[in-house]
């Protein structure tokens, strides 16, 4: 398609921009203070709806004029529900408050909004540089990040297109409409952008292949079928800034010559579905989507397709099958979807984060993007860091930052004075890396070389109390359930892997198990049909490689070094530490396994104990008398005193 | 016609055929379960027809490779055999080995491959695991033996090809995947009585007519 050489699209868009600026100004100049509340799924799950209701109640009760501004997620999960209060009259800068419960919301309304006391003991910091309160930018969790894709997340209302436009949104699209598709693809190719879905294929090349095909009907699909346990980057982007993704899709369609596009999003993300739906409608109403986009001859319709929760449908050929109404089963590639995709037409499938990277690249240029990250993996990576870290959440960092910086500097390290044991990267398809890899730079190639993979960005940090055999079992349990059942290796092979791992965690390991795990894993990797099967054994392969001692302990000594596998541990009470007459553990034991010894201390009846660990929690820290050991035989045997004696003591 | 080399022997193949078909047509046996002669799109699901091609790092499934002139192919390298043996062992680990009571006895693809690959019918180190229920009798004229089935999908494919709308489909997921009937529609009995292509194509006797043992 030829570029549109008239200036009408510019004129139409300037009018929209003016309207956006006007609305923004009106909001800024409105009297009273502003309360920004993070209302993505994560915020709502932590109680943001109650917080918002509490603010509304308290404001109307006290007759305070204030604007509650609902925004998306800022990525700081540890702080949810959070609010930012901008109260210019108080003389303070805008302040970031973490953990704002309904009660705290009422308290802040009274003390800060009404009386002007910001209650400094509750703040995280100011969101602007100032002389009174330390800025949040002084914390590594904020200042070591580099936000490209998530730049506007948590700052704008995702349900108001004008807020996105006022922040510079859709200018990349207008810029693109002035250029030829070939020029746009060249820019994307020069930027070195690689697919953020995990495989890291060059986005520019994919687009170029799609552009060159002779077929007329083409499709663009945004793959938002995020299914890794513990990963929620795509959901956050969809819920916090849907327009950046839509803008990326429009640019992609323009550059490749597609006239139809789909957002394939999981039905389990109802809020994301709703927000994207609203965003599409708003974009249409402003002429940014639909027929004759911004007065040009370029048409594009975007529809939403709700996936039904099969993990395998994140695989692009299975995704296509499921849209066509069939069972979501992958097929052999090639042909790749770019040649033969949805309804046999060329189809460009990009991940949410890939598409969301496009507008900033167009806006700032390929050279700017290349400066971020590494030579072969330019740009940023978004991780959802969860597990044993102090500040979990979504982190966007330049590629090439080391795992150590990410885990220890940005996310605050391991809590409770525990030691680092492993980090699992890339979800069920990824691998577990030990401490010696902490200085590995995070980029596509280095992680693959280490045996893990970039994946879509899930990262689980584990401390010394984790058992790697159990972690592998967990992931295999997931992939085994999510296998589509089509090919032999994945369907039956992963079942046997899980079966072996389950036996190991129960102390029923056999001598041949470790070899069998290794060989079967290699065969599944080499023999499976699709990406799910090919990567399913990765958690086993990497943990066998780096944590073999864990496996040997389970198989040979029936011992769980992480003290996690219930069948291989026992609890006992250290009689030297146990306090005479204290009954804290007895009260919480659900199976009455704890009894009183002849000298009024406590013992555990191993035959009744279900190893729930409640007694550990209940034992007062000054005694700290409950011990956990593995193998269970290490627990000293304390005889339960005969019934009459016990009765005599009580009486 | 194209000329390619398989196991050191030059063979001829028509342009557009797959490597698997070219080999089978030239009497070079490659173990396979899900391949149907005459149907263009292969399922590539049984993962047995591996070969090594010069220039490729790992074994590839020959049913997905279109023939090309000057391809150099080996069908019996250690890597190929290892994958084939594992795949067969996996299939046998969930197979009810009861050959003397099975209608497919002596014409069974699993028996043939076990003999060819020198794999015992017993699963060895792998835990033997059978599914419940053993037989699905819900169809008016067909019975489905869950633990004989290798889920090659040929029955579904031929039914789709000949009847447009298949009467059978895959159901459930992962390890629990089975072939299943779409309820018991009225016309199923008539249409299925006339066409038993699914029974004929089943390589392991998992789909049988109700009257047969």
Please judge whether A528 and B47 are an interchain contact, meaning their C-beta atoms are less than 8 angstroms apart: yes
pLDDT score of A406: 95
A409: burial class by Cβ within 10 Å (0-12, 13-18, 19+)?
Answer: middle
Specify whether A338 is located in the same domain as A394: no
In a domain, A512, yes or no: yes
For residue A598, report the phi and psi dihedrals to the nearest 5 degrees: -65, -25
pLDDT band at A647 (very low <50, low <70, confident <90, very high): low
pLDDT, tens digit (0-9, with 9 covering 90-100), for A24-38? 999 988 888 999 999
pLDDT at residue A2 greater than cutoff 50: no
Band the pLDDT of B191: cuts 50, 70, 90.
confident
Contacts made by residues A106-109, CB under 8 angstroms, sequence distance 24+: A106/A54, A106/A57, A106/A58, A108/A83, A109/A54, A109/A55, A109/A58, A109/A59, A109/A62, A109/A64
Domain that holds residue A242: 161-371
Q: Specify the pLDDT at position A645.
A: 53
pLDDT at residue A32, rounded to an integer: 87
Beta bridge pairs of residue B178 = B171
Q: Does B205 touch chain A (CB under 8 A)?
A: no
Residue whose tokens read 């999981």: A266
Distance of CA A202 to the CA centre of its chain: 23
CB of B64 within 8 Å of a chain A CB? The answer is yes
Does residue A396 lie in a domain region?
Answer: yes
CA distance B138 to B160: 20
Rounded to the nearest angstrom, the minimum Cα separation between A513 and chain B is 9
Same domain (yes/no): A526, A612: no
CATH assignment of the domain containing A641: 3.30.70.20
Q: Sort out which chain A residues have CB atoms less than 8 A from B59's CB and list them.
A: 526
The confidence score (pLDDT) of residue A640 equals 84
> How far apart (Å, rounded) are the C-alpha atoms in residues A157 and A172?
20
- Distance CA(A110)–CA(A106), nearest Å, equals 6
Beta strands in A254-363 (DSSP E): 260-266, 301-307, 347-351
Which pLDDT band holds residue B190 (cuts at 50, 70, 90)? low
Higher pLDDT, A191 or A650: A191
Interface contacts A/B by beta carbons within 8 Å: 98
In tens, the pLDDT along A158-206 reads: 999 999 999 999 999 999 999 999 999 999 999 999 999 888 899 999 9
Confidence of residue A353 (pLDDT cuts 50, 70, 90): very high
**In the predicted structure, residue A650 carries a pLDDT above the cut 60:** no
Lowest-confidence range among A198-212, A279-293, A629-643?
Answer: A629-643
Instruction: Write the pLDDT tens digit of every residue in A302-334.
Output: 999 999 889 999 999 999 999 999 999 999 999
Same domain, A293 and A212: yes
**A651 or A444: whose pLDDT is higher?**
A444
Number of other CB atoms surrounding residue A637 within 10 Å:
9
Residue that finishes a domain, picked among A556, A581, A600: A556
pLDDT value, residue A1: 45
Residue A20 lies in a domain: no
Q: Which residues of A touch B50 (CB under 8 A)?
A: 527
**Residue A456 domain flag:** yes
Q: Same structural domain for residues A289 and A410?
A: no
pLDDT of A606 > 90? The answer is yes
Same domain assignment for residues A451 and A479 = no
Whether B212 shows a pLDDT value over 70: the answer reads no
* Residue A99: pLDDT band with limits 50, 70, 90: very high
Residues A487 and A618 in one domain: no
A320 and A190 part of one domain: yes
Tokens of A275: 């927000």
Q: Identify the pLDDT of residue A5.
A: 47
Residues of A in contact with B169 (CB under 8 A): 327
Is the peptide bond prior to A628 cis by the omega test (within 30 degrees of 0)? no
Please check whether residue A8 lies inside any domain of the structure.
no
In angstroms, rounded to a whole number, what is the distance separating the alpha carbons of residues A220 and A348? 5
For the record, the structure tokens of A350 come out as 């990009």
In terms of pLDDT, which residue wins out, B189 or A338?
Answer: A338
Dihedral over alpha carbons A95, A101, A107, A110 (to 10 degrees)? 70
> What is the rounded distance in angstroms from the CA atom of residue A527 to the CA atom of residue A507?
30
Residues A181 and A295 in one domain: yes
The pLDDT assigned to A199 comes to: 83
Chain A environment of B82 (Cβ under 8 Å): 523
CATH number, domain with residue A516:
1.20.1440.230
CA A317 to mean position of chain CA atoms: 24
pLDDT at residue A532 is higher than 70: yes
Query: Quick one: DSSP state of residue A178?
Result: T
B50 close to A (CB below 8 A): yes
Domain with residue A52: its CATH number is: 3.40.30.10
Residue A38 maps to a domain: yes
> Going along A61-120, which residue ranges are E strands?
66-71, 83-86, 95-97
- Whether the predicted pLDDT of B189 surpasses 70: no
**Residue whose C-alpha is closest to residue A199's, from A84, A412, A350, A419:** A350
Q: Do A633 and A533 share a domain, yes or no? A: no
Please state the φ and ψ torsions of residue A374, each to the nearest 5 degrees: -105, 175
Is A2 inside any structural domain?
no
Dist CA B74 CA B71 (whole Å): 10
Kindly state whether residues A171 and A295 are assigned to the same domain.
Answer: yes
DSSP string, B119-142: --SS-TTSPP---SSSEE--SSSE
Chain centroid, CA A299 distance in Å: 34
User: What's the mean per-residue pLDDT of chain A?
Assistant: 93
Do both A338 and A293 map to the same domain? yes
Domain boundary pick from A136, A152, A179 = A136
Instruction: List, in order of start, the domains of chain B with CATH numbers.
Output: 1-129 (3.10.20.740), 135-209 (3.30.70.20)
CA distances B211 to A96, B141, B142, Å, are 76, 8, 9
Determine the 3-state secondary structure of B77 from DSSP: coil
CA B135/CA A350 separation, integer angstroms: 43
Whether residues A190 and A328 share a domain: the answer is: yes
CA distance A328 to chain B (A): 10
pLDDT at A4 over 50: no
Q: Mean per-residue pLDDT for B181-191?
A: 65
Q: Is residue B196 pLDDT above 90, yes or no?
A: no
Query: Is the residue at A25 inside a domain?
Result: no
φ, ψ (nearest 5 deg) of residue A380: -115, 165
Phi, psi of A226 (to 5 degrees): -70, 120
CA-CA-CA-CA torsion for A121, A124, A127, A129, nearest 10 degrees? 70
Q: Is a pLDDT exceeding 70 seen at residue A651?
A: no
pLDDT (tens digit, 9 = 90+) per residue, B146-172? 999 999 999 999 998 888 878 889 999
- Does position A448 have pLDDT exceeding 60, yes or no? yes
3-state secondary structure of A425: strand
The minimum CA-CA distance between B207 and chain A, rounded to whole Å, is 18
DSSP code at position A290 = B
Overall domain count for chain A: 5
* Nearest residue of B to residue A522, measured between CA atoms: B83
Of all residues in chain A, the percent with pLDDT exceeding 90 is: 87
Which of the listed residues A324, A344, A371 is the one where a domain comes to its end?
A: A371
């Amino acid at each position: 398609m030829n570029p549109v050489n008239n200036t009408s699209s510019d004129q139409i868009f300037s009018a929209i921009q003016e309207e956006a600026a006007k609305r923004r100004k009106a909001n800024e100049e409105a009297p009273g203070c502003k309360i920004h509340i993070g209302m993505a799924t994560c915020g709502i799950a932590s109680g943001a709806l109650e917080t918002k209701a509490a603010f509304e109640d308290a404001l109307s009760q006290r007759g305070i004029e204030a604007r509650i501004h609902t925004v998306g997620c800022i990525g700081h999960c540890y702080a949810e529900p959070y609010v930012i209060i901008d109260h210019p009259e108080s003389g303070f800068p805008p302040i970031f408050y973490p953990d704002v419960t309904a009660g705290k919301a009422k308290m802040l309304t009274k003390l800060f909004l009404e009386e002007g006391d910001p209650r400094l003991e509750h703040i995280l910091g100011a969101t602007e540089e100032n002389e009174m309160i330390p800025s949040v930018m002084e914390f590594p969790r904020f200042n070591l990040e580099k936000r490209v894709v998530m730049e506007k997340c948590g700052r704008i209302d995702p349900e108001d297109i004008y807020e996105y436009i006022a922040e510079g949104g859709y200018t990349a699209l207008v810029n693109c409409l002035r250029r030829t598709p070939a020029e746009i693809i060249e820019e994307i190719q020069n930027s070195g952008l690689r697919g953020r879905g995990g495989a890291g294929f060059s986005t520019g090349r994919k687009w170029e292949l799609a552009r060159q095909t002779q077929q007329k009907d083409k499709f663009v699909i945004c793959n938002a079928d995020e299914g890794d346990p513990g990963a929620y980057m795509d959901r956050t982007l969809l819920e916090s800034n849907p327009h950046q993704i839509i803008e990326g899709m429009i640019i992609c369609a323009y550059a490749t010559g597609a006239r139809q596009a789909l957002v394939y999003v999981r039905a389990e993300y109802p809020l994301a579905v709703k927000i994207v739906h609203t965003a599409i409608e708003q974009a249409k109403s402003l002429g940014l989507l639909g027929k004759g986009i911004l007065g040009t001859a370029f048409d594009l319709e975007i529809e939403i397709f709700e996936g039904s929760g099969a993990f395998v449908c994140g695989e692009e050929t299975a995704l296509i099958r499921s849209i066509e109404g069939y069972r979501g089963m992958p097929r052999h590639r090639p042909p790749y979807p770019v040649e033969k995709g949805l309804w046999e037409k060329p189809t460009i499938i990009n991940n949410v984060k890939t598409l969301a990277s496009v507008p900033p690249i167009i806006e700032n240029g390929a050279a700017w993007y290349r400066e971020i990250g590494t030579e072969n993996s330019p740009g940023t990576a978004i991780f959802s860091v969860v597990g044993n870290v102090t500040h979990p959440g979504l982190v966007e960092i330049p590629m090439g930052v080391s795992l150590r910086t990410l885990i220890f500097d940005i996310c605050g390290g391991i809590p409770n004075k525990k030691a680092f044991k492993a980090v699992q990267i890339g979800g069920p398809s990824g691998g577990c890396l030990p401490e010696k890899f902490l200085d590995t730079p995070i980029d596509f190639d280095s992680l693959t070389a280490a045996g893990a993979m970039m994946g879509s960005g899930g990262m689980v940090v584990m401390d010394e109390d984790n058992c790697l055999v159990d972690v592998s079992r967990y992931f295999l349990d997931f992939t085994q359930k999510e296998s589509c059942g089509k090919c032999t290796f994945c369907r039956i092979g992963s079942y046997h892997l899980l079966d072996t791992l389950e036996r190991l965690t129960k102390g029923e390991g056999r001598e041949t198990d470790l070899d069998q795990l290794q060989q079967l894993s290699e065969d599944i990797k080499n023999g499976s049909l699709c990406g799910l099967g090919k990567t399913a054994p990765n958690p086993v392969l990497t943990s066998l490689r780096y944590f073999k001692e864990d496996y040997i302990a389970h198989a040979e000594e029936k011992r769980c070094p992480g003290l996690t596998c219930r069948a291989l541990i026992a609890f006992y009470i250290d009689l030297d530490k146990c306090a005479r007459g204290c009954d804290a553990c007895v009260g919480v034991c659900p199976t009455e396994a704890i009894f009183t010894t002849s000298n009024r201390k406590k013992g555990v009846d191993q035959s009744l104990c279900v190893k729930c660990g409640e007694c550990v929690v209940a034992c007062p820290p000054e005694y700290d008398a409950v011990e956990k050991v593995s193998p269970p035989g290490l627990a000293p045997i304390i005889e339960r005193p005969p019934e009459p004696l016990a009765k005599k003591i009580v009486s | 016609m194209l000329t390619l080399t398989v196991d050191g022997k030059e063979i001829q193949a028509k342009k557009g055929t797959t490597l698997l078909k070219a080999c089978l047509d030239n009497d070079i046996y490659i173990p396979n379960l899900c391949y149907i002669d005459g149907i263009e799109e292969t399922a590539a699901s049984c993962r047995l027809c591996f070969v090594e091609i010069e220039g490729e790092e790992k074994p590839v499934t020959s049913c997905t490779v279109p023939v090309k002139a000057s391809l150099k192919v080996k069908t019996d390298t250690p890597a190929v055999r290892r994958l084939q043996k594992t795949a067969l062992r996996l299939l046998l680990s969930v197979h009810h080995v009861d050959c003397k009571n099975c209608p497919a006895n002596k014409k069974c693809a699993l028996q043939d491959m076990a003999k060819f690959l020198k794999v015992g019918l017993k699963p060895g180190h792998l835990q033997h695991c059978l599914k419940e229920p053993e037989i699905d009798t819900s169809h008016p004229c067909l019975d489905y033996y869950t633990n004989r089935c290798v889920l090659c999908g040929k029955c579904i494919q031929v039914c789709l090809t000949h009847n447009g709308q298949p009467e059978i489909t895959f159901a459930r997921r992962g390890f629990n995947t089975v072939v299943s009937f779409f309820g018991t529609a009225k016309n199923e009995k008539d249409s299925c009585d006339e066409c038993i292509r699914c029974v004929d194509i089943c390589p392991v006797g998992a789909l049988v007519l109700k009257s047969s043992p």
